[in-house]
Amino acid sequence: MTTFLIRRLAFAVVTLFAVLTLVFVLVRIVPGDPAQLILGDQASREAIEALRQRLGLDLPITRQYLVFLTGALRGDWGVSMISGQPVIGEVLKVLPWTIELTFVSLIIGIVLGVPAGVYAAIHRNRFVDYAVRISSLLGLSFPPFVSAIILLLIFAIALPWFPVISARSGSAFAWYQSITLPAISLGLISAAYVTRVTRSAMLEVLSEDYVRTARAKGVPWNVVIWRHALRNALIPIITVVGLYLGILIGNSVLTEIVFSRPGLGKLLIGALNQRDYPMLQGMMVIYTLIVVLVNLLTDLAYGFVDPRVKLK
């Protein structure tokens, strides 16, 4: 387990390093001088020069890279060009909103998806199975902003059950009102993914010899399904859920826009439209950190559900 973890940790560090480098390069391949872009055509040479200095763009490229790397790791992500506030503060302010949304959506996805997938696998090629397969295929066809708009139209506009703008104001009821529609919108799409992977993982496991043995020795069918089969099907399910979290974080950008919900998504779109480079760099760092952390948690989960992983 220790060597396994060390290897995965090393991969996490490599990932972090690689993406930081990618961020550094991306922000610099923009055609034109960022300082010129930010200040516009009317700016004087002195003003551009001063801004270049402030952004550290006058330093040699290797020096810029070092400054960027050490800054990123120390949490010094520069100052937003728009608000003038430190980037890390702005990011941390809205981070809980996005984490909360993705977390609740994922829970919805697992709670709906795992039982649906198991049920479909047990009733393979029967009507229920087809119904589950078609509806999960439909679910994962949804662009996240389309599902959000449809929910918004039905439950906030046609039926005034939920607010059109999902920003909470303190009480538990307000929280419930602000999270429900966005989380259902993302949760149903997650459920579609979880259902499909659960179904195929269960089908694989159900044809194993030990399942037949368990049945033959008279273990109740329920116990065979939930204890013997599902436990073994968990590894591929965890893999997909871990990978899906990356997609989910991407999708949450669109959901936050539709529901006017604060979060990383709104911050990102704002930074993109305003070409707020320090903010964009900081956001890519935070997204990378989240992804790397999720990958590590996925690896830990492997070891937790499957003792064999520890031996490798």
Partner 1 sequence: MSATATKPAVRAAAPSPFAYFASATLKAFNTNKTSWIGLVVFLIVVVAAIAAPVLAPYDPTDQNILEKLRPPSMEHWLGTDSFGRDTLSRLIYGARISLIIGVVSTLAAMIIGTAIGMLAGWHGGRLDTVTMQAMDVLLAFPSLILGLILVAMLGPSMTNIIIAIALTSIPPFARIARAPTIAVKEREFVDAGRALGYSDTRILGVHILPNILPEILVMGSLWLANAIRTEASLAFVGLGVKPPIATWGGMIREGFENILDSYWLALVPGVAILIVIFALNLLGDGLRDAIDPKLKGET
The residue ranges that bind partner 1 (CB under 8 A) are 11, 14-15, 18-19, 26-27, 29-31, 133-134, 137-138, 140-146, 149-150, 152-153, 157, 193, 196-197, 199-200, 203, 240, 243, 246-247, 249-251, 253-254, 257-258, 268-269, 272-273, 275, 280, 284, 287-288, 291-292, 295
> Any idea how long the chain is?
312
Tokens of 177: 């009102």
Give CA–CA dist 140/193, Å, rounded: 6
Other beta carbons within 10 Å of 76: 15
Q: How large is the angle between the packed helices 277-305 and 264-274, nearest 10 degrees?
A: 150
Contact 20, 72 (CB under 8 A): yes
To partner 1, the closest distance from the beta carbon of 269 in angstroms equals 5
To partner 1, the closest distance from the beta carbon of 170 in angstroms equals 26
Q: Which is nearer to partner 1, 88 or 149 (CB)?
A: 149
Give CA–CA dist 26/45, Å, rounded: 25
Q: Which is nearer to partner 1, 108 or 144 (CB)?
A: 144
Give CA–CA dist 14/95, Å, rounded: 24
What's the chain's Rg over C-alpha atoms? 24
Q: Which is nearer to partner 1, 227 or 312 (CB)?
A: 312
Q: Which is nearer to partner 1, 110 or 219 (CB)?
A: 110
Q: Which is nearer to partner 1, 154 or 223 (CB)?
A: 154
To partner 1, the closest distance from the beta carbon of 6 in angstroms equals 16
To partner 1, the closest distance from the beta carbon of 179 in angstroms equals 21
Q: Which of 167, 158, 196, 150 has its CA nearest to residue 101?
A: 167
To partner 1, the closest distance from the beta carbon of 63 in angstroms equals 22
Q: Which is nearer to partner 1, 137 or 167 (CB)?
A: 137
Q: Which is nearer to partner 1, 230 or 284 (CB)?
A: 284
Q: Which of 72, 45, 34 has its CA nearest to residue 274?
A: 34
Q: Which is nearer to partner 1, 142 or 155 (CB)?
A: 142
To partner 1, the closest distance from the beta carbon of 250 in angstroms equals 3
To partner 1, the closest distance from the beta carbon of 280 in angstroms equals 6
To partner 1, the closest distance from the beta carbon of 192 in angstroms equals 9
- Alpha-carbon distances of 59 from 23, 35, 291, rounded to whole Å: 18, 14, 31
Give CA–CA dist 70/74, Å, rounded: 6
Residue 9 is which amino acid? L
Burial pattern 203-241, b for ≥16 Cβ within 10 A else e, equals bebbeeeebeebeeeeeeeeebbeebbbebbbbbbbebb
